[in-house]
Amino acid sequence: MENCAAVTVNTMSDLAEHECCIGLYCESCDRWEGVVPSEWLEQGLPDVEYGEIGFKCGECGSDGSKRVCPLVNGEIVTITPH
């Protein structure tokens, strides 16, 4: 498994190529959401730089903190922040 932090990934297609995804953590709700780049692209969404996207929590609407997570067997592996 590649270490996503060690590779240079900027765009959704880069993330998809490296089997990484974007994890979004909402501190207020203490919950994770994930964006799978390959699914993003399949939906016909633009191949944007992920740093440019503003993600908001689906529950409370506050800004989440983004981090790049590995995708293992199609599942997002989130690293629980402590």
Residues that bind Zn ion (CB under 5 A): 26, 28-29, 57, 59-60
Asked if 27 contacts 63 with a C-beta cutoff of 8 angstroms, the reply is no
For Zn ion, the closer of residues 5 and 60 by Cβ is 60
Name the minimum Å distance from CB 47 to Zn ion: 27
Name the minimum Å distance from CB 59 to Zn ion: 4
Asked if 66 contacts 22 with a C-beta cutoff of 8 angstroms, the reply is yes
For Zn ion, the closer of residues 41 and 76 by Cβ is 76
Asked if 25 contacts 50 with a C-beta cutoff of 8 angstroms, the reply is no
